Amino acid sequence: MKKNKHAEIASTHSRLTAADALVIFGVTGDLAHKMIFPALYAMAKHGALNMPVIGVSFSKWSLAELRKHVQVSIKHAGKIDDRSALAHLLSRLQYVSGDYNDTATFKALKLALGKARRPAHYLAIPPSLFSTVINNLGAAGLATNARVIVEKPFGRDLASARALNKIALSVFAEDSIFRIDHYLGKEAIMNILYFRFANSFLEPIWNRNCVASVQITLAENFGVKGRGAFYERTGCLRDVIQNHLFQIVALLAMEPPAYQGFGAVHSEKAKVFQAMRSLQPSDVVHGQYAGYRKEIGVAKRSDVETFCALKLFIDSWRWQGVPWYLRSGKSMAATAAEVLVELKTPPQRLFDDSAPVDGRANYLRFRLSPNSAVALAARVKRAGKEFVGDQRELYLLDEQLKKETPYERLLSDAMAGDGALFTHEDAVEAAWAVIDPVLDIPRTVYRYKPGSWGPKQADALIAADGSWHNPILEKEKK
């Protein structure tokens, strides 16, 4: 694949302008505790943490308290198996206490940065504070040659996403804004992109002529885990579908990039979102697991969905008429994520037993979690004179024991200026535009039993094209 000269220049520019400091707003919060500190520890173990790490928070902590907090975080995530790496991380820490609305906080941050000229500002804070911090960074002169790392959700609807993009772009250039979706840092997700375009056998069948439907399931067997207040503001459609599952759809549906470089990938993914048909109420089923209303922070009569299933169409030459079924939920039967690309049946039944097995024709299956795998289902003749057979899976299990965690990968990339695994303004807004018509309208939310696969109404949604594929969780043979 021929490289675009501009992409090469941009790539070289990014390498030359690696960040020389990391600022973590919300350093005493839950996200930093669970994800960021373990990622920084992993980076230290790999020799990739060579800059000061400055935490900013309202909490009036001492540096010693922050260091202790970091050690607790790393122990909770696993174990401390490299004392020199831990010592290196702790030695890099600094702390600034202050209110994000107070200009004095940003003056103190500027002083703490010292000679650093290319800081990366990580906003591990509630979305309601994004605009405040971004504006104050600009006013304090802390955005020059800097970049900002923004956690999802990036907006809560199309209007707020546009407003936030406008504010962010008034302070930072687009290539200096790193919108994190940790799902894109997973090895199995990146394998979708690689598998599609590194193998020529898929292209002839990867279209409306051969694909009958596509299913994507992301299920969790646990509830909101004390995050009831967050979920009351967000819900499953905003929390998972609009970002995680839409990103998977884009990787599956995109056209081949025109050149090597993440700019080309971003462009093709954005085109997928722009081609998606806007959702209508009849396209969506909302569910809520029994017991959700008893969670801390949840309203007694809450109608927030903890489960969502939808039917989606992509109005493009390649995918016109092919239904895409997406579902995700909490307190379901298993914790797993899978994609099932079901192929059309042969145009003529030459053999009596060649009808779809259990309603399922040949398919390609991507296991995304808990492990990474790819399987192709095909019919194979049994031994004997009769032309009868069975559907079997050709199964590839990909176990990588020393792979990077998503946050380590994404944080390392953001610090290096590599935007390949981050989302851009046009893609974010196009994705919100798809679900915007169904976000805040009256709807029925169906109860479902914890440990099930969601409300039965979701089965009716897919009935015209078969049934939901429930991820296979038994131990599979290599």
**450 DSSP assignment:** T
Note if the bond before 153 is cis, omega within 30 degrees.
yes
Which residue among the candidates 121, 244, 266, 424 is catalytic per the annotation? 244
Those residues with Cβ within 8 angstroms of residue 258's Cβ, 6 or more apart along the chain or in another chain: 4, 264, 267
**Strand pairing category for 21-25 and 53-57:** parallel
Note if the bond before 370 is cis, omega within 30 degrees.
yes
User: Can 33 be counted among the known catalytic residues?
Assistant: no
Query: How does DSSP assign 261-291, residue by residue?
Result: SHHHHHHHHHHHHHHBPPP-GGGEEEEEETT
- Answer yes or no: are the C-beta atoms of 289 and 448 closer than 8 Å: yes
CB neighbour burial string for 230-247, b if at least 16 within 10 angstroms, e if fewer: ebbebbbbbbbbbbbbbb
**Cα dihedral: 305, 307, 313, 318 (round 10):** 140
**115 Cα distance to chain centroid:** 35
- Answer yes or no: are the C-beta atoms of 249 and 324 closer than 8 Å: yes
Cα–Cα distances in angstroms (integers) from residue 389 to residues 213, 342, 358, 363, 380, in the given order:
24, 19, 14, 16, 5
- Answer yes or no: are the C-beta atoms of 377 and 391 closer than 8 Å: yes
**256 DSSP assignment:** P
Those residues with Cβ within 8 angstroms of residue 442's Cβ, 6 or more apart along the chain or in another chain: none
Q: Label each residue of 347-394 as H, E or C.
A: CCCCCCCCCCECCECCEEEEEEECCEEEEEEEEEECCCCCCCEEEEEE
Those residues with Cβ within 8 angstroms of residue 215's Cβ, 6 or more apart along the chain or in another chain: 324, 325, 326, 327, 339, 340, 342, 462, 468, 469
- The kind and range of the H/E element at 143 are none
In this structure, the chain runs to a length of 478
**252 DSSP assignment:** H
- Which residue carries 């893609």 as its tokens? 427
Catalytic residues: 244
